A and B are shown apart, each in its own frame.
Chain A
Amino acid sequence: MKKSHQDSSSLWNYSPAPESKSHISLKEKYGLYINGKWEKPISGKYFDSINPATEEILAQIAQANDKDVDKAVRAARFAYDSVWSKLSGSERAKYIYRIARLMQERARELAVIETLDGGKPIRESRDIDVPLACNHFFYYAGWADKLEYAFPTRKVESLGVAGQIIPWNFPLLMAAWKIAPALAAGNTVVLKPAETTSLTALKLAEIIHDAGLPPGVVNIVTGFGDTGAAIVNHPDVNKIAFTGSTAVGKLIQKAIATTSKKATLELGGKSANIIFEDAPIDQAVEGIVNGIFFNQGHVCCAGSRLFVQESIAEKVIKKLKQRIETLYVGDPLDKNTDIGAINSKEQLQTIEKYIQIGLNEGAEIYQPQCTLPKKGFFYPPTLFSNVAQSNRIVQEEIFGPVLTIQTFRTIDEVIQKANNTPYGLAAGVWTDKGSRIFNLTTKLKAGVVWANTYNKFDPTSPFGGFKESGFGREGGLHGLSAYVKLS
């Protein structure tokens, strides 16, 4: 882990520019949002949600058990039967539009809380997570009364109660990805946020409450894996939507295999980011950085496997090293920060475990010299070169700011290497040649291909994987089909 490069961060000193925390309101204790009311957990148990950048406690979160989940599912079922399934699409749309508008009004508060609770840089939560989440509600609201155009010649029905389990990397955005299409299609929802990042989902519950949604249409239950399992196994849930690890995705798929529950799974990835010799190098370097260091690398579609054509490898790697010297790792609330806090101690340990695995496998490590904050969970941007296709750090998802670098000579070779993974979520291609882009985008087995760009998202754009990265799509017209029954 020795530094071999001049520390250029000293050349780029900025004065601290932290976002103010003064305008946010957080309760000391959060209950479960069930049937339009804040309920105490039946077990009486609460757990702490901490700020991963300071390790300070932000709030106490209710721990739901299977009885709480049952209450939530019953509320969702009752709301489905008595109100929501009877509303016209245009009325549903207006409720969802209201949610979008209220979120926009409270965008700054949501962004600050997202950054406090999850550790991501405020620039990202402010400019990406929160606006995208609002826009997702705005987009799907408009579908609610147009479903017959999405599925012409077919009869479209809602499914019933959707059980939704979301991860900690984009807490509010994932809640929006799940809730918005479910409501638009006429379902009711029981959603469980990840245990380390419950707060923005609970703030969203406040917003949904303020929007006047009928009680029980959206229920938010907080807790750990067992809470999620209670949702998955509840007999009165019609649909499971899960975003998270491939291992848990398989457990869920197994658990519901003998039922008629419908599922969409958005799982892990080990996406290839491919740089050809004719690529615009400076833009490509920015794309590599954005591909792997966006949100500390806690991104299922992170471009964690870099492939550089041999003829330009030396140049690209040199520029990449120079570039990561200038990345700011530190206070997520600071507007200068590029890489915020690792989401949890557990995740930091996972990253450290993989660094050790990489070193044991003989890979060459490069980390810029940067001073990490004393408190909190931080990890510097890391490059691994001299790696083989069979190395674990090349095959397995690390979910941190760790990039492996491989080189290639021919297109055939890089297609083979890029596709040689059980995953198939995303891929990046950098070249100036149009015909090559289309060759690559056709052959890469991935649900999203970014050509001369990376890590772009939009409510209108379907997202989801091939192979073991899961099935089903979220976003766009195609995202609706996860929440409807067609006949």
Chain B
Amino acid sequence: MNRLEVLKTYKIYIGGQFPRTESGRYYTIKDKKGNPIANICLSSRKDVRNAVVAARKAFGSWSERSAFNRGQIIYRIAEMLEGRKEQFIEELVKQGASQKSAIQEVNLAIDRIVYYAGWADKYQQVASSINPVSSSHFNFSVLEPMGVLGLVAPQNSSLIGLVSCIIPAITGGNTIVVIASQNHPLCSVTFAEVLNSSDVPGGVVNILTGNPHETAPILASHMDVNALVADDQDLLHLKSEAVENLKRIVPLNSNWMQKESQGLWFVTETQEIKTTWHPIENIGGASSSY
């Protein structure tokens, strides 16, 4: 006798919890043949707001963690993803990918996470500076996370686009509210489960499924979101929404399946530069020539 499969309920991810959308709405995604794959939460304005609250709450302690600790947690994400590889491959295939490209995508996603785990305690060294000012001051510039980011995830990809945008942002100490791919949402929800089991504190990453045309403008105009990350096309429609609190606009365009679509720059794009000055005592007398 064939065993009856237990189907998965796809929910959204806010503050480390997996609620259904408060709106109770859903949409159905289908495979190539038109058979329904799953019902997906159609997130609402309230869900976006709840997610921003969760992300703001998580920001303080996440950004203040040691770089080493963030690196370890990011690496842990890769470990968890590796362990659940099959599930992601299966989901990618369900959503239309070939077996071969699905395997490739999942492997690349895992490797990319490991790559950024290594950046966590290095980007600051590479990108900060000591500035040789003319006056008797010690002056240095360091990077600080922008804060709460809103991300409209690449819409044509289920896993690799999502991972390539989320991971560098949280590596740099930001927290993030993600609007997942509308048509390829499965991996985003499963990836939330990976995050949830990877010591990533609740609220650092929040993932909402649904219709970006509905939710992205809400995220873009939210006064407690510091930066908006999306590709150029999406930004064209969203930038005017982001003006009121002068959100940073971070365009991220790439062919995420390319090995080169990663780098220091994806971390520093969502960082502020802070410059500190302090006087250096300068009392005449002994010089340092010897």
Give the B-binding residues of A (Cβ under 8 A).
135, 153-154, 246, 249-250, 253-254, 257-258, 260, 265, 267, 422, 437, 441, 446-453, 456, 458, 460-464, 466-468, 470-471, 473, 476-478, 486
Contacts and interface: CB of A to CB of B under 8 A. Distances in A.
A458 B246 contact: no
Interface of B is mostly: mixed
B34 interface: no
Interface stretch (B12-20, B133-141, B210-218): B133-141
Contacts of B263: 153
B244 A258 contact: no
Interface in B80-132: 129, 131-132
A152 to B, nearest CB: 9
B27 interface: no
Contacts of B31: none
- Count chain B CB atoms within 10 A of each CB in A154, A422, A450, A452 and give the residue with the most: A450
A448 B275 contact: yes
Interface in B226-248: 226, 232, 236, 239-240, 242-246, 248
19 contacts: A250-B243, A257-B240, A258-B239, A258-B240, A260-B232, A446-B274, A447-B272, A456-B135, A458-B133, A460-B132, A460-B133, A462-B131, A462-B275, A463-B275, A466-B272, A468-B245, A468-B246, A470-B246, A473-B273
Contacts of B243: 250, 253-254, 257
- Count chain B CB atoms within 10 A of each CB in A153, A154, A246, A448 and give the residue with the most: A448
Given A135-B134, A456-B135, A466-B274, 17 more contacts: A249-B246, A253-B243, A257-B242, A257-B243, A265-B246, A446-B274, A447-B275, A451-B276, A451-B277, A453-B277, A458-B134, A460-B133, A462-B129, A462-B141, A464-B273, A471-B248, A476-B275
A453 B141 CA distance: 16
A422 B224 CA distance: 11
A471 B245 CA distance: 11
Contacts of A249: 246
A257 B135 CA distance: 40
The 10 closest A-B pairs by CB, nearest first: A458-B133, A257-B240, A257-B239, A460-B131, A451-B278, A253-B243, A461-B131, A449-B276, A254-B243, A450-B277
B275 A258 contact: no
Given A462-B141, A467-B245, A456 B265 contact: no
A453 B273 contact: no
Size band of the B side of the interface?
Answer: 20 to 34
B279 interface: yes
A462 B129 CA distance: 10
B273 A478 contact: yes
A35 to B, nearest CB: 32
Contact of A467 (B240, B246, B273, B277): B246
A460 B139 CA distance: 9
Contacts of B244: 250
B139 A458 contact: yes
A449 B141 CA distance: 10
A430 to B, nearest CB: 11
Nearest to B260: A153
A250 B247 CA distance: 10
Nearest to A260: B232
Given A154-B265, A471-B246, A458 B279 contact: no
Nearest to B60: A443
Nearest to A441: B276
A301 to B, nearest CB: 11
A449 B236 CA distance: 34
A461 B245 contact: no
B236 A258 contact: yes
Contact of B240 (A254, A462, A468, A471): A254
A476 B274 contact: no
Contacts of B132: 460
Contacts of B279: 452-453
A456 B277 contact: yes
Given A456-B135, A476-B131, A477-B129, A441 B274 contact: yes
A450 B139 CA distance: 9
A456 B277 CA distance: 8
